[in-house]
């Protein structure tokens, strides 16, 4: 489980404005099943996720930690599960998520809200609760608190 702080620089003015905007939009219209835990830290959001009803994760609650880089949204935020990560074929036991939009396929038109919806969709489409096959090896390699953004991900499953 990694709650380590990535090497953070303070947000640029553009990033701060954009996050301010996202936060106020979230407050008006939060994505269904998510709750933003109010803090005074704009650069790190803690979001509670409720498993969608009718899926393997219904009535389960998880926590996402979203850390924003200095030049957000040109660069993707770092999104990981903290506390007890859900058991899912694309979620490692250290909370790292194998999801292309968080890395290679990131686009500045995406928002925290759209990331949350993608993650919930990924959870909901699971057919079995299992860890990724290479979980142990990967977690061992990340022991020094490496960010998932430094991982060279290989995205192979297009069904989630």
Catalytic: 98?
Answer: yes
Q: Which stretch binds other proteins (CB under 8 A): 21-29, 39-47, 52-60, 120-128?
A: 21-29
Kindly tell me which residue out of 8, 9, 21, 150 binds other proteins, with binding defined by CB under 8 A: 21
Q: Count CB-CB contacts under 10 A for residue 23.
A: 15
Q: How far apart are CA 12 and CA 23, in angstroms?
A: 16
Q: Which stretch binds other proteins (CB under 8 A): 30-38, 61-69, 73-81, 140-148?
A: 73-81
Binding status of residue 75 toward other proteins by CB under 8 A: yes
The pair of structure tokens assigned to 68 is: 């924003």
* Euclidean distance between the first and the last CA atom of the chain, given in angstroms as a whole number: 23
Please provide the size of the chain in residues: 160
Binding status of residue 73 toward other proteins by CB under 8 A: yes
Place of tokens 């608190």: 145
Kindly tell me which residue out of 18, 35, 44, 131 binds other proteins, with binding defined by CB under 8 A: 18
Binding status of residue 28 toward other proteins by CB under 8 A: yes
Specify the residue, 41 or 107, whose C-beta has the smaller distance to other proteins. Answer: 107
DSSP at 151: S
Half-sphere CA count of 46, side-chain side, radius 13 A: 11
Q: How far is CA 116 from the centre of its chain?
A: 7
Binding status of residue 39 toward other proteins by CB under 8 A: no
List of residues contacting other proteins (CB under 8 A): 13-14, 17-18, 20-22, 24-25, 28, 73-75, 107-109, 111
């Amino acid at each position: 489980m990694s709650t380590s702080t990535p090497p953070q620089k303070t947000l640029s003015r553009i990033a701060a404005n954009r996050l301010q905007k996202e936060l106020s939009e979230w407050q008006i219209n939060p994505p269904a099943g998510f709750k933003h835990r109010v803090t005074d830290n704009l650069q790190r959001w803690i979001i509670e996720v409720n498993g969608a009803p009718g899926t393997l994760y219904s009535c389960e609650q998880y926590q996402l930690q979203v850390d924003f880089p200095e030049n957000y949204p040109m660069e993707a935020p770092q999104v990981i599960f903290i506390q007890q990560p859900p058991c899912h074929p694309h979620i490692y036991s250290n909370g790292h998520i194998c999801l292309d939009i968080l890395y290679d396929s990131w686009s500045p038109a995406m928002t925290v809200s759209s990331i949350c919806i993608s993650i919930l969709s990924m959870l909901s489409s699971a057919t079995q609760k299992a860890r990724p096959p290479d979980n142990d090896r990967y977690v061992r390699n990340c022991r020094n608190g490496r960010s998932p953004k430094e991982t060279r991900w290989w995205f192979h499953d297009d069904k989630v």
